[in-house]
A and B are shown apart, each in its own frame.
Chain A
Amino acid sequence: MRSGRFFIVRQPLVLLAFVCLLAACSSNNNNKANGGNAANNAAKPVASSIAPAPGAAGTAQPGSPAAAATGAASRTASAATARAGSPTAGGTLGDPGAAALAAAGGKKLGGSVNVLGTWGGSEQDSFLAMVKPFEDATGVKVNYEGTRDLNAVLTTRVQGGNPPELAGLPGPGQMAQFAQQGKLIDLGGVLDVNAMQQQYPASWLQLAQVNGKQVGIFIKVALKGPIWYDPKTLSKFSNGQTPKTFDDLLALSDKIAQSGTTPWCEGMESGAASGWPGTDWLEDIVLRQAGPDVYDQWYQGKIKWSSPEIKQAWQTWGKIIANPKYVFGGSQTVLSTNFGDAGNPMFSNPPKCYLMHQGSFITDFFVKGTPGIKPITDFNFFMFPDIDPKYTGSAEVAGDLFGMFKDTPQARALIKYLATPEAQSIWVKRGGALSANKLVSPDIYPDQLAQEQAQIVTTTKTAKFDASDLMPDAMSTAEYKAILDYIQNPGSLDSILANLDKVQADAYKQ
């Protein structure tokens, strides 16, 4: 609308061309290759953001997206209780290429499949390494496209009738929404259900089910809550003892702070999702301070953010994050540092910080940021310590869900392949990923740390899935923002929580 004159003439033609292109895409999709447009799609969230908004609203399906948002909340959370017993290792796995060929029904399928996910950088490399044998064995080209704003990109493409064949799902909450709108294909008819039940803990399968239908599959999982350190430098303060309680943790932090160095490395920046590393802190604290029941009520929207339990969790976290003597560079550095880079000062000489709270996948970023460092000798972890001894043995887990939006032979083959232990072993071996598949043997984990984490994921007494991934999107987005606001201005906690209460009252509404 920059200039009234041009707008009138140019817009319809552009739109016409656009519509024709869309028509071309959707007519092609059923069984033909849809390659080559990955680059276009990457630009989509921004390019299409302003102009089509009124138009998109005009053509939107009057489905019930908001209604679906609560679907996630009403599903039982305890589904996340992953208690699988230790992986039944044993038997050697076959060649991934053979597994891929089997997934494709023994045929060299050819063609291509579009995959949308959230990974970039080294995680993207690992995913590509995972699909490489599939591409080689079946001749199917995998067009992967990664975005940190997955939710918006995926929603736009699904609404626009042009979804990728396979996509990473932002979380079980989003998955339920897509499933209830009928956008996700029931994998019951694609995957071998019996094999799935043998290979995966029931809880992980249930987390990816909506109304009894298997609409997703976890292709890798992660353990939240490890606290990372460099054993060589921390030993000066810890004497080889890792903190057993939160008070121990604070005492250790104090000891480090008194030496004149900040104990904690923290980074909250993550593009459109900035603030999420803070949600993991809160979840770990709520789980260990108020217990699993409160945790469930919390993400289900049944207790307020201003309730004593949740407010206390923020205050507990505030003892660390809001203490300028505790965090490297103070709040401004925490806010402007990318979560993946936050650990780098831990490995500088002398270290600028000693402890970092982040999920199991962060090792990938450590090694990338400081090439040459080795697990166990250069970095190690202890689990988030207990706060209330009543809840000992709780752990928070998360995972990357995959769903199928378009049924093509290539997509079927790929998702079958991604669910196999052979495929998942590839990423596991590269580091930074755990697998929920019981046939992925503990021996193939690249190091003892990853093995321990896999052990915790499958054997912990109470495993709870990442709460912010289970909340409706409006709620988790508001939480991300609240975390940034709190770090910048801890004094305004009451008004931050009051605002979250307002969002909560609204986001869970039918």
Chain B
Amino acid sequence: MSDRIILALVVVLGVPAALVGYLALIEWLVRGVSNHWRPRLRPWLWLLPVLAFLGVYLVYPSLKTIYLSFLDASSQKFVGLDNYRYIFTDRTNLISLRNNVLWVIFFTGAVVTFGLLIAVLTDRVRYESLARGVVFLPMAVSFVAAGVIWRFMYDYRPPSLPQTGTVNALLGAVVPGFTPHAWLIQRPLNTFAIIGASVWMWTGFAAVILAAALKGVPADVLEAARVDGAGEWQVFWRIIFPLLGTTIAVVTTTVVIIALKAFDIVYVMTNGNYDTDVIANRMYKEMFNFRNFGRASAIAVILLCAIVPVMLYNLRSFRTQEATR
């Protein structure tokens, strides 16, 4: 145990020390270079450690993954596009792809809509931070724990027994003649039940970012509109919404990426059974259950291809947003 503590100390103190040492060293070396070359050399030397890390931990694995996706299960034989052909013809994988589309549409739609609604509404109450805190709280729960919590919420028991699941018990008490549902088993209800649980988790994230942007809407513009006789509805749609445009775009694209990468909650709640699978869970199964490196890599590449354009758009809107500040 003691050598572990020493090791932890070495990592915690040693790594920053090594970085600072490196910078001191290159500054000392750069001093010896002519004035002409110094400004051209320095940024690259400063960037070098980061570029090296990026290369080793991001670029190389990505390229290797793309390469592996054209090889067979044990990465020994070249199989061309077979892995991709399999993913786009196999029923289970097609359902996963369909579910990811459902996630992108409904999860993103709900998170952004509710986030915006909560941001705008809490902006006007006195106990604003408390209200927003409550909405943001689920973000502090780990995804796995949230999955377990929602499994209990959606728990199903036959109508002849008392309902222990919160959702069934509540609806049974409120709605006359309600028969309990197996929320996680009946399709297509189950996919939406899981999406619902994720919306609970991520709405706070959208709400907090949008609320921050809302603070940036100039009060004089709003006042001018109201003086000109605009109703609250008009103020929202004509003034607030357009001014929040870039932030909404950033939030939306971020949430789209989260939807595409959805994994933990599906793994915990149904493990992809009953047609609720998503591609990230397929990738996990191919990789860790079936040890099919080819197919797992192919799914990773497909996921990458789906996410990269969204991310580029995200970065661009983020930059526009920063520029307009």
Instruction: Give the interface of A toward B (CB within 8 A).
Output: 1-5, 8-9, 11-13, 15-17, 20-21, 24, 28, 32-33, 35-36, 43, 45-46, 49-50, 53-60, 62-67, 151-152, 155-156, 177, 271-272, 274-275, 328-330, 332-333, 335-336, 345, 352, 473-474, 477, 481, 484-485, 488, 499, 502, 507
The answer to whether A62 and B53 have CB atoms under 8 Å apart is no
Given A45-B288, A330-B158, A488-B185, check contact A17 B300 (CB 8 Å): no
Given A50-B263, A488-B185, A499-B91, check contact A333 B156 (CB 8 Å): yes
Query: What are 29 contact pairs spanning A and B, CB under 8 A?
Result: A4-B311, A9-B50, A16-B53, A35-B1, A50-B284, A53-B284, A53-B296, A56-B287, A57-B61, A57-B293, A62-B74, A64-B74, A66-B292, A272-B267, A272-B271, A274-B273, A329-B158, A329-B160, A345-B161, A352-B160, A352-B161, A473-B291, A474-B289, A474-B290, A477-B290, A484-B273, A488-B274, A499-B91, A507-B290
The answer to whether B57 and A15 have CB atoms under 8 Å apart is yes
C-alpha gap A502/B291 in the complex (Å): 18
CB-based nearest B residue for A345: B161
Q: Which of B50, B184, B257, B274 contacts A8, CB < 8 Å?
A: B50
Q: Which of B54, B61, B73, B304 contacts A12, CB < 8 Å?
A: B54
The 6 closest A-B CB pairs, nearest first, are A329-B158, A12-B53, A65-B291, A58-B64, A66-B73, A152-B288
Q: Mark B248-292, 1 if CB is under 8 A from A, else 0.
A: 000000100110010110011001011000001001110111111
C-alpha gap A481/B57 in the complex (Å): 35
Q: Mark B141-165, 1 if CB is under 8 A from A, else 0.
A: 0011000000000011110110000
- List residues of chain B with CB within 8 A of the CB of A36: 1, 4
The answer to whether A62 and B57 have CB atoms under 8 Å apart is no
In this complex, the member of A36, A57, A64, A177 whose beta carbon has the largest number of chain B beta carbons within 10 angstroms is A57
- Check B234 for interface membership: any CB of A closer than 8 A: no
B168 CB to nearest chain A CB (Å): 11
The number of A-B residue pairs with CB atoms under 8 Å apart is 172
Q: B50-72: which have CB < 8 Å to A?
A: 50, 53-54, 57-58, 60-62, 64-65, 68, 72
- Check B182 for interface membership: any CB of A closer than 8 A: yes
- Check B244 for interface membership: any CB of A closer than 8 A: no
The answer to whether A155 and B291 have CB atoms under 8 Å apart is yes
- Check B3 for interface membership: any CB of A closer than 8 A: yes
- List residues of chain B with CB within 8 A of the CB of A60: 68, 75, 293
- List residues of chain B with CB within 8 A of the CB of A335: 182, 185, 274
The answer to whether B57 and A12 have CB atoms under 8 Å apart is yes
- List residues of chain B with CB within 8 A of the CB of A21: 11
- List residues of chain B with CB within 8 A of the CB of A328: 158
CB-based nearest A residue for B254: A2
The answer to whether B7 and A49 have CB atoms under 8 Å apart is no
C-alpha gap A152/B283 in the complex (Å): 12
B167 CB to nearest chain A CB (Å): 13
The answer to whether A58 and B257 have CB atoms under 8 Å apart is no
The answer to whether B267 and A49 have CB atoms under 8 Å apart is yes
C-alpha gap A72/B69 in the complex (Å): 26
C-alpha gap A17/B311 in the complex (Å): 27
A143 CB to nearest chain B CB (Å): 13
Q: B1-30: which have CB < 8 Å to A?
A: 1, 3-4, 7, 11, 15
The answer to whether A152 and B284 have CB atoms under 8 Å apart is yes
B79 CB to nearest chain A CB (Å): 11
B16 CB to nearest chain A CB (Å): 9
- List residues of chain A with CB within 8 A of the CB of B257: 1-2
Query: Can you name 4 extra interface pairs (CB under 8 A) apart from A8-B54, A57-B64, A57-B293?
Result: A54-B65, A58-B64, A65-B74, A333-B182
Q: Which of B15, B60, B314 contacts A13, CB < 8 Å?
A: B15
In this complex, the member of B4, B184, B254 whose beta carbon has the largest number of chain A beta carbons within 10 angstroms is B4
C-alpha gap A4/B156 in the complex (Å): 41
C-alpha gap A395/B171 in the complex (Å): 46
C-alpha gap A16/B15 in the complex (Å): 9
Q: Which of A332, A345, A474 contacts B156, CB < 8 Å?
A: A332
C-alpha gap A5/B4 in the complex (Å): 32
CB-based nearest B residue for A499: B91
CB-based nearest B residue for A33: B1
- Check B320 for interface membership: any CB of A closer than 8 A: no
Q: Mark B88-117, 1 if CB is under 8 A from A, else 0.
A: 001110000000000000000000000000
- Check B214 for interface membership: any CB of A closer than 8 A: no
- Check B315 for interface membership: any CB of A closer than 8 A: yes
- Check B246 for interface membership: any CB of A closer than 8 A: no
- List residues of chain A with CB within 8 A of the CB of B198: none
CB-based nearest B residue for A64: B74
C-alpha gap A60/B258 in the complex (Å): 27
B205 CB to nearest chain A CB (Å): 10
CB-based nearest A residue for B69: A57
Given A155-B291, A335-B182, check contact A54 B300 (CB 8 Å): yes
C-alpha gap A20/B10 in the complex (Å): 10
C-alpha gap A64/B292 in the complex (Å): 10
A188 CB to nearest chain B CB (Å): 27
- List residues of chain A with CB within 8 A of the CB of B92: 481
- List residues of chain A with CB within 8 A of the CB of B160: 329, 352
Q: Which of A59, A473, A481 contacts B273, CB < 8 Å?
A: A481
The answer to whether B68 and A58 have CB atoms under 8 Å apart is yes
C-alpha gap A255/B261 in the complex (Å): 51
C-alpha gap A28/B318 in the complex (Å): 45
The answer to whether B267 and A53 have CB atoms under 8 Å apart is no
C-alpha gap A16/B50 in the complex (Å): 12
C-alpha gap A233/B132 in the complex (Å): 56
